[in-house]
Amino acid sequence: MYVAATLLLLANIIVAFWFVLRASSEGDKLLTSLLLTTTGICILLMLYALSQEGSFLDIGLIFALLSAVAGVVFSKRTWRAH
């Protein structure tokens, strides 16, 4: 079950990278990078569920916090410029 879900998430990452290369606006690139971090966090949580290694959970939490900060900073800088 976990292996199939992880493979589906890895396919999602590949499609998202392809979209980043083709995206034209900064907003599209930011949303795709947020999708990538969310997918990465899901993979880390699945690895935690499989191995019960606490470091996967810690790294996922750090990625979630950094992703939230990046989204807020981008939004503030973009809307202030317009």
pLDDT at position 16 is 84
CB 57 within 8 A of CB 48: yes
pLDDT at position 58 is 92
Along the 82 residues of the chain, how does pLDDT read in single tens digits? 778 888 898 898 888 888 888 877 877 778 888 888 888 898 888 889 888 988 999 999 999 999 889 888 888 877 765 5
pLDDT at position 62 is 93
pLDDT at position 81 is 57
CB 6 within 8 A of CB 44: no
What's this model's pTM, rounded to 2 decimal places? 0.76
DSSP per residue over 21-54, as a string?
HH--SHHHHHHHHHHHHHHHHHHHHHHHHHH--H
